Amino acid sequence: MPEQEKKSGFEYEGEFVSWHLTDKVVDLQLVDQFAKMPPADFFAAVEDDFDRERTPILSAMIATSLRHHYQNWSIARVIRFVENMHMSQLVFFDGEESEEEGKAKIEGLPPTETDIPSEDEEDSKASSKKSKEPVDSP
């Protein structure tokens, strides 16, 4: 993906993943797995520039973004993938969104109504079915 098309997110092993953080239970399970803190504390930490760069917070943000990017991956697969990542191979992008979009995604604020994906974009029964099928890793 050309540099100018990238929004805020990260690239790992040549694959770009945009930041995605919601209050869906599946995302909160990943937050609990990595950050080991209540959701309200996590969202407050994400708003803080210093805390956001701490490994547990960053790992949780990466996990929720990967879960959205690879919707057919199980939670266990996302967890294993993040646990085996090399942070030195991550490249972060700030993106060039509108100020409001950028604030919500770059700072990791909880999504506004406009940030919440439509039913077509979010997990569906079809994508849940797909998660049982074997998938090549990226």
The answer to whether residue 97 is domain-embedded is: yes
Cβ atoms 114, 57 nearer than 8 A = no
What phi and psi, each to the nearest 5 degrees, are found at residue 65?
-70, -40
Residue 126 lies in a domain: no
- pLDDT per residue over 93-127, tens digit each? 887 644 454 444 434 444 433 344 444 445 544 44
- Please report the pLDDT score of residue 132 as a whole number: 47
Q: For residue 38, give every residue at least 6 positions away whose Cβ sits within 8 Å of its Cβ, in sequence order, or none.
A: none
- Any domain includes 44: yes
The pLDDT assigned to 125 comes to: 46
Backbone angle region of 98, left / alpha / beta, with phi > 0 → left and psi within -120 to 50 → alpha: beta
87 falls within a domain: yes
Measured distance CA(87)–CA(110) in Å, rounded = 24
- What pLDDT is stored for residue 98 in this prediction? 46
Q: Which two three-digit tokens encode residue 72?
A: 């057919």
CA–CA gap between residue 64 and residue 34 (Å, rounded): 10
Domains held by the chain: number: 1
Strand order in the sheet with 9-12: 15-18, 9-12, 90-93
Domain boundaries, position 100: 3-112
41 in a domain, yes or no? Answer: yes
pLDDT at residue number 126:
47
pLDDT digits over 39-76, tens only? 999 998 888 776 677 889 999 999 999 999 999 999 99
